[in-house]
Homo-oligomer: A and B are copies of this chain.
Amino acid sequence: MKLLHGGDYNPEQWLDRPDILVEDMRLMKEARINTVTLGVFSWSSYEPEEGHYQFEWLDEIIDTLYKNGIYTILATPSGGRPAWLDEAYPEVLRVSDMGVRNLHGVRHNHCMSSPRYREKVRGINNKLAHRYGGHPGLLMWHISNELGGACYCDLCKKKFQEFLKDKYDHNIDLLNKEWWTTFWSHQFNRFEQIDPPSPRGEGSITGLKLDWKRFTSWNMTDYMKSEILVFKALTPKIPVTTNFMCLYPGLNYYELAEALDVVAWDNYPKWHNEDQKIWETAFENAFDHAVMRSLKKGKPYLLMESVPSQVNWHPYNKLKRPGIHRLSCLQAVACGSDSVLYFQWRKSRGSYEQYHGAVIDHLGSSDTRVFKEVEEVGRLLTQLDEICGTVVKSKVAMYFDWENRWAIEDMPALSNEKKYPETCRLYYKSFLRMGIDMDIVSCQESLDNYQIVIAPMLYLLKPSTAEHIKKFVKNGGTLLATYLTGYVNENTLCYLGGFPGDGLREVFGLYSEEIDVLYPRDHNSVRFVVDNFLKGSYRVKEYCELLKTESAKILAVYAQDFYEGTPAITVNSYGKGKAYYVGARLDEVGMSEIFKKVCSEVGVLVVDLPEGVQMHKRTDGVFEYKFYLNAAVKEQVIPIGVTETVMFASDTLSTRADAESSQQWVLKPNHCLICKSRL
């Protein structure tokens, strides 16, 4: 097994330049490319007119690649429809939420429900499966590209109504109750009366909006499965993937991931932006990796797209500074990726992405800074083959859930500063700074394998969520939740009898009577009031819940305003475990201190890492591989355990510190060190 190195390759754009295709092969070998993705958006090249196919060019490319030791991930071409297809079957085009059907153009512009589109896609996929399914160079199927968006056509509306019938047992009264439609006289008599949410129609029923997002996610998964079906039937041994877009808000990736063999994603951080230090960007990016990795429970995933230097679509497309490419590629591997793949191999001459970064520029030469950095990564990756297939496991988990996110975003209340993903990201960062690379869990998952679970803003409770939590704490787990916990059920009906609902009031030993919302320039603070916890005060912004404790013990109180002295942070013993409740939005410093204290109470090891250094672990069950990445702008000293061996350092000039016994390594900026130890 090898770590994959390569990326998107579009030879169909250069068929009239055979010299360039020959040069591509030479340069790929120079850059140590072992894998390419072919066929993304190639439908017009396969089937230039309906029913007229031309695959010979692809035959030759795949063969040549294979002969040169390069494997192919073959994409289905459904992301972009040929002009003839839209012309002949306009019903495959998407309809906007204003009810207007799109024209031919751009990409991701098809109705996921359209039987016609599914039929046409099945047809071309069948061709691909038959022709290339047995090719020894074929590594994987890649379904479409960056699936996303929504369609509001009549077909989708009808399918949405069917989805609702299934969900609500064909019982319109049940839907009316869960959507609380008596409000504003919104009761429906029949499912057929229900339209998707629209700026020119309904936009106020939170249950409808949430179910529409669920439907869109379900329908996209259903569409994706319809593509996968062809391959599972004809080439059952070839794994199937698609490329996710990080925290893309429109799809529940937990749902899509179940239908895939391998998770893959596209990663384009804004390096060197003016609001963050480089290491902060790197830490932020680690959270995205963690979410993607967790979709398949720590199994290796693929970095499907990344860029050697600048992209073309950020507001400011700054060059990646020297070494950042190495840092980000090795970070991917450290976080659990078995690949470093780029969009793209060679820049297009024209159209929308002609300036999207690539290994080969319009210049066409390997004598460029960018090429050399790619070549270096290719070389380094060949030293890491034993990492391939290893997994990531943590004793600490954090909830991050799309349904909860949607419910919070559409919550008609509180403030403009909702910041659910930002809050999760911040908490993840605090843990990573302590050397803990948390697992991410959805609202439906069991928490059995964790010692600590963090639940930021767990606003919506799925039927199983409270059960999992109660079981987890009862059995000795430590839970930390925050303001906005347990307000609504899965259809956004508020719990009666006090938040947090569904039995969590007992777990935390309190209820939240009110929630104060601060203006952006307002603030408050919390003051710790018990001996054996933290000292001092920490700043609070935006949200302050006014808590009524029952069995909970008060750890901190508010320091200002009319609720000065009332509980802000509490802990409650429940079964063998403990449940912390942080009622206010503390800043990063405050939350970090709390997390550190909680870890130390539970006995989870906290590592004192220098600023900018992140540590990740992968394991094959026998060995543990610790990755240290230095994203600071200066050298940092890394303390290595005496039982550990340094198996890899990206810069061979890294030097040991004086004291041999303590194994202190000096890690240069943008470099990586891997230690190996037996578990």
Contacts and interface: CB of A to CB of B under 8 A. Distances in A.
A529 interface: no
Contacts of A416: 315-316
A418 to B, nearest CB: 12
Contact of A351 (B41, B205, B499, B515): B205
A227 to B, nearest CB: 16
Interface in A86-136: 87, 96, 98-107
User: By CB atoms of chain B within 10 A, which of A42, A312, A513 has the most?
Assistant: A513
A573 interface: no
4 closest cross-chain pairs (CB), A and B: A180-B350, A103-B201, A105-B202, A355-B413
B364 A497 contact: yes
Given A412-B313, A513-B363, A520-B274, A102 B201 contact: yes
Given A206-B352, A312-B412, A494-B349, A516 B105 contact: no
A411 interface: yes
Interface of A: 10, 12-13, 16, 41-45, 48-49, 77, 79-84, 87, 96, 98-107, 177-189, 193, 195, 198, 200-207, 272-274, 309-310, 312-313, 315-319, 321-322, 347-356, 361-364, 368-370, 411-417, 488, 491-499, 511, 513-522, 546, 561-562
Contact of A185 (B80, B201, B356): B80
A627 B13 CA distance: 57
Contacts of A80: 184-186
Given A105-B201, A354-B492, 16 more contacts: A10-B182, A44-B187, A80-B186, A82-B189, A98-B100, A100-B200, A103-B195, A105-B203, A107-B204, A178-B350, A274-B521, A274-B522, A319-B516, A362-B499, A363-B496, A364-B497
* Central interface residue in A42, A185, A322, A562, by most chain B CB within 10 Å: A185
A638 to B, nearest CB: 25
Given A13-B183, A513-B363, A103 B202 contact: yes
Nearest to A106: B204
Contact of A317 (B319, B349, B414): B414
A496 B106 contact: no
A496 B319 CA distance: 20
Contacts of A101: 200
A185 B43 contact: yes
A87 B185 CA distance: 14
A262 B676 CA distance: 81
A297 B289 CA distance: 60
B106 A203 contact: yes
Contacts of A316: 415-417, 517-520
Contacts of A412: 312-313, 352-355
Contacts of A513: 361, 363, 368-369
B363 A497 contact: yes
Contacts of A522: 274, 318
A193 B104 contact: yes
Provide the main secondary structure of the chain A interface: loop
A415 B317 CA distance: 6
Contacts of A179: 350-351
A517 B497 CA distance: 56
A45 B187 CA distance: 8
24 contacts: A10-B182, A41-B185, A44-B182, A44-B185, A44-B186, A79-B185, A82-B187, A103-B201, A104-B202, A106-B203, A180-B351, A181-B351, A274-B522, A313-B412, A316-B519, A318-B522, A319-B515, A350-B488, A350-B494, A354-B492, A355-B411, A355-B414, A363-B499, A364-B496
A184 B356 CA distance: 14
A105 B416 CA distance: 24
Contacts of A488: 350
Contacts of A492: 350, 354
A13 to B, nearest CB: 5
A492 to B, nearest CB: 6
Given A200-B100, A370-B514, A183 B351 contact: yes
A206 B350 contact: yes
B273 A183 contact: no
Contacts of A184: 41, 79-80, 106-107, 351-352
A414 B316 CA distance: 6
Given A183-B351, A207-B351, A352-B204, A198 B45 contact: no
B105 A317 contact: no
A519 B203 contact: no
Nearest to A102: B200
B44 A195 contact: no
A347 B41 contact: no
Contacts of A181: 44, 351
Given A180-B354, A187-B48, A193-B87, A96 B200 contact: yes
B202 A106 contact: yes
Given A312-B412, A412-B312, A412-B313, A180 B348 contact: yes
A180 to B, nearest CB: 3
B200 A350 contact: no
B514 A189 contact: no
A41 B497 contact: no
Nearest to A103: B201
Contacts of A49: 189
Of A79, A183, A498, the most chain B CB neighbours within 10 A belong to A183
